Structure 1
């Protein structure tokens, strides 16, 4: 399996992030890590191995990127308004800098995004904020209401990064064209959040799949989910 370590400077963030690119050809999928996770997490926890067949057969190319959580959601020393703004800058890094580079490299109009736990929030929030850039969204074991990080603080940036708030009002037609899969488990403490998003999507008439499986909030469940979700691309 071809493996490429890269460093990517973000002008929006004013810093360099690291990433691991798995595969040398195929449909691009950005993998967001879990809370405070690093670019090597998906490889270390064998999420990459779960889809190795797709990589080896040049069907997909994974872009495993660093999170920005230590500057945003988990930067408890910062004011909540600063934390959510730092996340907005991270979102701009992905939308304005990373995705265009991937589009050029892979010659695609749209990318796929995926993530587990907080990475699943990142994937869904990015996809729903930028549906013109994303064709496939796979979340696994995620919760989607970020107000729990804000300590009661609320502003426009919180609204636009909190899917339960902005999704009911979003009328972007590309949302109706997206392949959306919400994966959770019966004993996952994030399960109810997935039901909430699925209900909003259903009321809007947006096709999606809510996949609830035996298990809990852990990597073995997500490793079972991911190859099945990836297969829906083809």
Structure 2
């Protein structure tokens, strides 16, 4: 497997940022954001790259793993909130403006990358896909946190609002131009219901808001034995990623594919076996309220809807974010 580590200076963050590329140019680009406070080598250290090695070696994907700056934003509990929010926004700008250009150059293509991540990496992956569906093909977000109140309490400003998916989706109208793009992308969200999985309610909000908008995202709630930890994330990425890659390659019209086997994640998923997933008898049962629906890009669609993020405006006088989960 080709492995190349590179460093770029981010003008948005005012610091050097490291990334590692696995695989060859021309394969489908995947941008992986690590978990809370982690760096670009985390996925390699925890064996996630090994799980994806068959897809990399077969030339199906080129994987780009990046650094985080979470310790200066999300997890800097004693820091100034405005500065913390501004740092997160600068990190988002780094990913969209600087890293993405590097990915296109090294991948030798203009393909829209798929954003993936676990824990806070899933949070970042979801923000990339939801805020810039014109630039990213979608996301696979595993155990993400989508309420900024988890780290900022009731504090909110316009910058932080742009990084709170539960908040801005709740203000989005079904006529928003991003709704069409969402339905032409692959939006996959997954959370377990076992130990340390504290973001179940977050994903319920995401699922309800996307359903309200008429967006066919795939929101899966895995079993009560599924914990917030690497062994499960490995199984999940091994299951979801080959399916998403097949959809992208097929170029099917939205809604053309059915929801897949009702028996759970393992049924009819030989790709997951090949990529190191659990045996069918060991895979968790999917617990879904609405049923999984999968969508692929529409042929010949016009993706460009503007050069800037089109997050809906924050409603004036909105209540603290805790009200979203409470209904």
Scaled by the length of structure 2, what TM-score is found?
0.69
Q: Return the alpha-carbon distance in structure 2 between the equivalents of residues 20 and 216 of structure 1.
A: 27
Correspondences of 1:166-205 after superposition (within 5 Å): 166-170=168-172, 171=176, 172=178, 173-187=180-194, 188-205=197-214
- Unaligned runs of 5+ residues in structure 1 are none
Q: Return the alpha-carbon distance in structure 2 between the equivalents of residues 217 and 148 of structure 1.
A: 16
Question: Per-residue displacement from partner, 1:172-231 (whole Å, max 9, x unpaired)?
Answer: 232221101111112122222112111111111111112222311111110001022211
- Number of residue pairs matched by the alignment: 234
Kindly state the Cα deviation for residue 43 of structure 1 after the two structures are TM-superposed.
Answer: 0.8
Kindly state the Cα deviation for residue 108 of structure 1 after the two structures are TM-superposed.
Answer: 2.4
Kindly state the Cα deviation for residue 36 of structure 1 after the two structures are TM-superposed.
Answer: 0.2
Whether the 8 Å CA contact 1:115–1:138 is kept in 2: the answer is yes
Out of 152, 155, 172, the residue aligned to residue 153 of structure 1 is 155
Look up the SS of the partner of 1:177 in the other structure. Answer: coil
Q: Return the alpha-carbon distance in structure 2 between the equivalents of residues 9 and 57 of structure 1.
A: 32
Out of 240, 248, 253, the residue aligned to residue 229 of structure 1 is 240
Whether the 8 Å CA contact 1:9–1:17 is kept in 2: the answer is yes
- Residue 24 of structure 2 is aligned to residue 24 of structure 1: yes
- Unaligned runs of 5+ residues in structure 2 are 247-327
- RMSD over equivalenced CA pairs, Å: 1.3
Partner of 2:100: 99
Whether the 8 Å CA contact 1:136–1:179 is kept in 2: the answer is yes
Q: Return the alpha-carbon distance in structure 1 between the equivalents of residues 120 and 149 of structure 2.
A: 13
Kindly state the Cα deviation for residue 16 of structure 1 after the two structures are TM-superposed.
Answer: 0.3
Kindly state the Cα deviation for residue 125 of structure 1 after the two structures are TM-superposed.
Answer: 1.2
Question: Per-residue displacement from partner, 1:99-127 (whole Å, max 9, x unpaired)?
Answer: 12212332024111000011111110121
Look up the SS of the partner of 2:43 in the other structure. Answer: helix
Look up the SS of the partner of 1:134 in the other structure. Answer: coil
- Moved runs in structure 1, 4+ residues, more than 6 A? none
Partner of 2:324: none
Out of 215, 219, 227, the residue aligned to residue 230 of structure 2 is 219
Larger-gyration structure (1/2): 2
Kindly state the Cα deviation for residue 67 of structure 1 after the two structures are TM-superposed.
Answer: 0.5
- Residue 53 of structure 2 is aligned to residue 44 of structure 1: no
Out of 128, 133, 136, the residue aligned to residue 138 of structure 2 is 136
Question: Per-residue displacement from partner, 1:37-88 (whole Å, max 9, x unpaired)?
Answer: 1111111111111111100001001110001101211223321111001110
Q: Return the alpha-carbon distance in structure 2 between the equivalents of residues 57 and 167 of structure 1.
A: 37
Kindly state the Cα deviation for residue 95 of structure 1 after the two structures are TM-superposed.
Answer: 0.7
Q: Return the alpha-carbon distance in structure 1 between the equivalents of residues 199 and 151 of structure 2.
A: 15
Q: Return the alpha-carbon distance in structure 1 between the equivalents of residues 53 and 138 of structure 2.
A: 19
Change (3 A) 1:60 1:8: same
